[in-house]
Amino acid sequence: MNLLEFARGPVIHWALIILVAGTIWRLLGVLILTRGADLSRPRDAFGNFKGYRTVFSRAWPSGEFTVATRYQTIMAYFFHFATLIVVIGITPHIEFITSLTGYSWPALPNAVGVAVGTIALVSLIALIGRRLSMPKIYCSNIGDYVTWVLVATPLITGLLAFAHLGARYETMLAIHILSVAALFVWFPFSKLMHSFWFIFSRAQSGLSYAHKGVRI
Amino acid sequence: MSTPATITPIFPTFEQVCQGFGSQIGMLREMAPKPTHSAEVRVARAIDTLIAETNADEAVWLESCIHCGQCTTACHFFQATGETKYAPMRKMELYRRIYQREIGPFRWWYQLITSPIKLQDLEDLQELVYDSCSECGRCTMVCPMGIDTASLVHHLRSALVAAELVPPELSALREEQRHRGTVFGASSDTLLQMVKTISEHYGVEIPVDKASAEVMVLSSAVDLVANGNGLLATAKVMNHLGVDWTVCTDGFESANFGLLSGDMTLWRRQVEPIVAAAQRIGAKTLVIAECGHAYPALRWNPMLKSEDLPFDMVFMSEYMGRMAKEGRLRLSPLKGKITFHDPCKTGRRGGAFDEPRAVLKAMDADLVELPANREYNWCCGGGAGIFLLERATRLRDESFKIKLNQVNATGASMVVVSCASCRLNFEVGRVKNHWDKEVASLVELVADHLIEPPAAATAGAHA
Amino acid sequence: MAHNSTLGELLRSQGVSRRAFLKFCTTTASVMALPATLVPVMADALEQVRRPSVIWLSFQECTGCTEALTRSHAPTLENLIFNFISLDYHHALQAASGRAAEAAREEAMRENAGKYLLLVDGSIPTVKAYSTIAGISNLDMLMDSAPNAAAIIAVGTCAAYGGLPMAAPNPTSAVSVSDLIKDKPIINIPGCPPIPLAMTGVLAHYLTLGTLPALDALGRPLAFYGDTIHDRCYRRPFYDRGLFAKTFDDEGARKGWCLYKLGCKGPVAYNACANVKWNQGVSFPIQSGHGCIGCCEPGFWDNGGIYESIARGQFGTGPQMGVAGMVGAGVGAGAALLARSKKERAAAAHRAAE
């Protein structure tokens, strides 16, 4: 079995299993905990309901924080959107998802995929640069750095494979798939779970503030 | 009614109040109780308390921090010092470790790879959750994950209470309130004495212990033992409004050192007599003195099912604001440019933004909003008991400068505040920085600008 | 077979002019991507060479490799056999049969010990009974012939990597030549079948230079197996622009768009089909509208479906993921419920402590 077969075979198989099992384990393990009870009367009858708004409004920093957080917010959005576009927009990825789910959609031209992937990588580098240069603000721990490496590696190896640069294609592809598997395995046990948590944590704060009549 | 101009003021100015307070606070440190249990017991109790209070609500916040650092732009303690330990997200680190080890979904793994909590960890935490967090909630405004750090800090304080790690000043006051129900030596006798003084010297009547009344008004130890002008102003305003009001000697203390220290049991115990008194007299409204944390202690008390209660709980500025909107406050114009500082506990963490502004509008005030105002307001740095901590002096002083610059930027000559902690902090800051701005309390400002109807009507208004 | 004359003598005796001879050397050099300066060297060497003995062993094979060889066009098979090598044993091409054929083989091996070229096609079953020749198992015949060979050329994917017989479940326990022989130089010329020119070109290289050509990590001559089909494919611009045929008769197929989505393994298949092509340069599978099946790669029969693109892996199924999800849900819910009772105990302890 060569490296590519190994990567596409048992490695990605088990990585997906760990990803699915671990994510649901962590989600339910937290969400099935008790709920706090705030017995005080809300400021107005719809107060609690309005709190869900925060899940969406928090997508952009508001009011007086716009300027201070602008650079990081923009870089982070570039990274997230560019990565998303690459993950669901280039032909090999769509083929992969089709084989898992049956759904398919038109793909981006390869050159666009490479361009967007480059944007993703550049913004990711910008973010780590900022993290490294401002340690007092970021309070980084080892998890932050491991996460960065495990996110950057699929991007870099994917770009190299997709653009047919670097090692031989089947080797580069195998390394790319192995790095994706590593990311999948790391995902449920790391801060990457914020991709789910943000909904709940924003909603929870939104509710508790809306209870008092404050929009956050 | 005799006008203030003809009466010699007998109560100290607020600057004098601050000075007196300072020495009283100094004595508190000596009175703080020493820890009595072993380190193991203290750690175990802290952990038990913390996880008993940790629900899915807290867990999703603990899970979702991504170390993006944006909270540091909002926190006055971090901005004033630039020191990484004051970054808001650092307050969660120990909490997260305890949560992950005790009730997190992967706790068996974390118990393997992380070290158990030691008393030293809790001792190191003390500064982060008492000295350098006023639970102002400003970091929550900027966090992309919307983490409510202030609530998490509150639970951490609760844990430190169980670990006998409350800072000395707060610990002493907590002990006093636990045993005597009041603080700074204030008692129902002090209240009655103050009422008598106000009546005799100023001719302002304060109804005490009426069998029934529409409005029950709370005072606070600060007003009773130091700032008599506070109670005086309150009485003038209530009498001007002509409402059926009273204070009760069995339920008059706004200050809640259970909330301030993190002692949930004491918090609940302090609230009970107030609620009982209000129910007994059939009050429809409970008015809380200008004491910031008293608002969440009562109005936003999560342990009290307030919709079952027959009365509304409002903050002083909120009450006056309602009255102003109804046109019942007749006020002479306020001269000069002013700005308003929303107390964190009644503004961002309380929701009463509009009412104080309605009061200022009723005074035709030339109000210039602070550059960061309402829910984005900068904390003054003295809330949540920090004003009482001598250890936190540098932190308070440095972060106050942010507030100072904010006020200066408005070009106002006076800043109006509506919370005793804020006011004390502003006043001390004003003196230390030789600041040329005035600091005024909203209720005292209102009392000074009341337009009284002719004597015949006022006679009937007195209880 | 006249083994004693040199090649030069033989050619001259057959009326092949010096000019034609040099032309042959030039063609061979260019096909093997050797520099032009080597041509005189090749010519001198060839002059002197004695036609080597070549023994061709056919094991578990389909004869496709031989069939392909007959279509070689430079040099042609006839050219090869009659002018350059002494093909002393080949089941399909030899005149002799039975005991006479085996005797010829044994004599050639004895006379040319240490110098003959062993060509093998077909895989070798390690369960000996599955394939025998004249009562001798393939395994034994290979192990007998290999020690005295100068070099072994494994022709076709079966000999090079096991090929079809080795595909799951490998009923005959078939293996490749390099699985069995570890101490001889082996050139693999995979393909199902290999490109004829690859076979003859390698032979010509060996004959003229006496050395094995440069090989890649899988033992394949770089001259023919150095690039992927993908890198030389004329449909590459369509791949780059993201224009793919989705079925074999849609608009994309008719317009000759890339066949990646129809399972073309071009990106991971190293061979010369896209530039050298087949049938003397007429066409190759992709040009005919069918994706490359990667037949020159080890294990290609087991590497997923022929019509499944490279990106569609062989990594498990939806139902397994569903099971994983349910296991996770169960464990997570269990963890939370246990945590809830732990919280209650902690709350009770907290109350007791007060």
Segment holding B150, helix H or strand E: helix B149-162
Structure tokens at C40: 């005189």
- Assign domain B39-164 to a CATH class: mainly alpha
pLDDT of residue B417 exceeding 60, the answer is yes
Angstrom CA distances, C188 to A178, C59, C93, C181, stand at 29, 15, 22, 12
Q: Check CB contact of B147 with chain A, cutoff 8 Å.
A: yes
Residue B99: closest CA among chain C residues belongs to which residue? C339
- Geometric angle at alpha carbon C245, from C240 and C251, rounded to 5°: 115
- Give contacts of A74 with chain B, Cβ < 8 Å: none
Least CB–CB distance from C343: residue in B51, B105, B162: B51
Q: Are A28 and C261 an interchain contact pair (Cβ–Cβ within 8 Å)?
A: no
Least CB–CB distance from B105: residue in C332, C342, C353: C332
Q: Are B73 and A213 an interchain contact pair (Cβ–Cβ within 8 Å)?
A: no
Interface of B with A in 360-399 (CB under 8 A): 371-372, 375-376
List pLDDT tens digits, range C270-289.
Answer: 999 999 898 888 999 999 99
State the pLDDT confidence band at B458, using cuts at 50, 70 and 90: very low
Least CB–CB distance from B105: residue in C335, C342, C349: C335
Model ipTM? 0.94
What is the rounded distance in angstroms from the CA atom of residue A150 to the CA atom of residue A147?
5
State the pLDDT confidence band at B460, using cuts at 50, 70 and 90: very low
By percentage, how much of chain C surpasses pLDDT 90? 49
The C-alpha of B395 sits at a distance from chain A's nearest C-alpha, in angstroms, of 17
Domain boundaries, chain B: 4-24+181-326, 39-164, 337-448
Q: Are A65 and B68 an interchain contact pair (Cβ–Cβ within 8 Å)?
A: no
The C-alpha of C94 sits at a distance from chain A's nearest C-alpha, in angstroms, of 38
Q: Is B438 helix (H, G, I), strand (E, B) or coil?
A: strand
State the pLDDT confidence band at C83, using cuts at 50, 70 and 90: low
The C-alpha of C198 sits at a distance from chain A's nearest C-alpha, in angstroms, of 22
State the pLDDT confidence band at C8, using cuts at 50, 70 and 90: confident
Q: Are C336 and A173 an interchain contact pair (Cβ–Cβ within 8 Å)?
A: no
CATH fold match for the domains B4-24+181-326 and B337-448? yes
Rg (CA), chain B: 22
Interval A124-135 mean pLDDT? 96
Q: Are B69 and A191 an interchain contact pair (Cβ–Cβ within 8 Å)?
A: no
Angle of helix B91-102 relative to helix C318-353, nearest 10 degrees, comes to 110
Cα A28 from chain centroid?
Answer: 19
Amino acid, single-letter form, for residue C109: M
Q: Is C188 helix (H, G, I), strand (E, B) or coil?
A: strand
Give pTM, 2 decimals: 0.88
Q: Give me the phi and psi of C216, to 5 degrees please.
A: -90, -175
Q: Of B262, B293, B316, B355, give the one whose Cα is nearest residue B136.
A: B293
Amino acid, single-letter form, for residue B315: F
Strand order in the sheet with B414-417: B366-367, B337-340, B414-417, B438-441
Let me know: does B341 contact B415? Beta carbons within 8 Å: yes
Interval B256-267 mean pLDDT? 95
pLDDT at C279: 84
Which of C337, C340, C350 has the highest number of chain B CBs within 10 A, making it the mutation to test binding with B?
C350
- Give contacts of B47 with chain C, Cβ < 8 Å: 346
List pLDDT tens digits, range C288-343.
Answer: 999 999 999 998 988 878 999 988 866 666 678 888 888 999 999 999 999 999 99
Least CB–CB distance from C242: residue in A24, A93, A108: A108
What is the DSSP-derived secondary structure letter of residue B222? Answer: H
Q: Of B289, B297, B266, give the one whose Cα is nearest residue B135.
A: B297
By percentage, how much of chain A surpasses pLDDT 70? 98
Q: Check CB contact of B285 with chain A, cutoff 8 Å.
A: no
Which of A3, A14, A30, A32 has the highest number of chain C CBs within 10 A, making it the mutation to test binding with C?
A32
Angstrom CA distances, A178 to A12, A26, A144, A172, B78, stand at 7, 24, 20, 10, 42
Interface of A with C in 28-57 (CB under 8 A): 28-34
Structure tokens at B457: 């009507």
List pLDDT tens digits, range B326-350.
Answer: 999 999 999 999 999 999 999 999 9
Let me know: does C80 contact C28? Beta carbons within 8 Å: no
pLDDT at C2: 47
Check residues B111 and B458 and name the one with the higher pLDDT: B111
Positions of E strands within B241-391: 245-246, 285-288, 312-315, 337-340, 366-367
List pLDDT tens digits, range B235-250.
Answer: 999 999 999 999 999 9
Q: Are B61 and A69 an interchain contact pair (Cβ–Cβ within 8 Å)?
A: no
What is the rounded distance in angstroms from the CA atom of residue A164 to the CA atom of residue C172?
39
pLDDT at B456: 43
Q: Among the listed ranges A3-12, A25-34, B57-66, C115-124, which one has the minimum average pLDDT value?
A: A3-12
Chain pair B-C, CB pairs under 8 angstroms: 38
- Assign domain B4-24+181-326 to a CATH class: alpha beta
List pLDDT tens digits, range B131-177.
Answer: 999 999 999 999 999 999 999 999 999 999 999 999 999 999 999 99
Tokens 């995979």 -> residue = C190
Structure tokens at A90: 């280039």
pLDDT of residue A48 exceeding 80, the answer is no
Let me know: does B287 contact B321? Beta carbons within 8 Å: no
Contacts of residue C173, defined as CB under 8 A and 6 or more positions apart, other chains included, come to C125, C126, C127
What is the DSSP-derived secondary structure letter of residue C133? Answer: E
Least CB–CB distance from B303: residue in A29, A39, A58: A39
Give me the domains of chain C, ranges plus CATH numbers: 52-224 (3.40.50.700), 227-315 (4.10.480.10)
Tell me the CATH number of domain B337-448, given options 3.30.300, 3.40.50, 3.30.43, 3.30.70. Answer: 3.40.50
List pLDDT tens digits, range A163-181.
Answer: 888 888 989 999 999 999 9
pLDDT at B402: 96
pLDDT of residue A87 exceeding 90, the answer is yes
- DSSP letters spanning A71-116: HHHHHHHHHHHHHHHHHHHSHHHHHHHHHHHS---PPPPHHHHHHH
Sign of the torsion angle spanned by Cα atoms B267, B272, B277, B278: positive
Segment holding C331, helix H or strand E: helix C318-353
- Give contacts of C341 with chain B, Cβ < 8 Å: none
